Amino acid sequence: MTFAQEAARQGVELRGLRARLSTELDQSRALGATDNPPVGQIDWYLDADADAPRETLEEIKRLADDHCPGVWCIRNPIALATHLDG
């Protein structure tokens, strides 16, 4: 997880790190009923156990959001090529 990587770069030792995601999923597009986007927002919750001030953990979160490949893929359109084999 990029948060742990950024914590290590900042010299912050993590005793524990838990993450959970939450979103609302609209399946109406998949069913051909609407053109609604399937997901409008993803909420990502991190619980970091460390002896570091809240401000330091917030800065680590900001750096992780800036450097995380998964976050980049969510925030930016990427090319998709679908191939049918066989």
- Contact criterion met (CB below 8 Å) for 60 and 19: no
pLDDT digits (tens, 9 = 90+) for 8-49: 999 999 999 999 999 999 999 999 999 999 999 999 999 999
Does residue 1 carry a pLDDT above 90? no
CA distance 3 to 5: 5
User: Does residue 31 lie within any of the structural domains?
Assistant: yes
User: Does residue 12 lie within any of the structural domains?
Assistant: yes
What average pLDDT is seen over the chain? 96
User: Does residue 81 lie within any of the structural domains?
Assistant: no
Number of domains into which the chain is organized? 1
CA distance 17 to 64: 13
Tokens of 24: 């609302």
Task: Indicate which CATH number applies to the domain containing 68.
Answer: 3.30.300.20
The domain of 15 spans 2-75
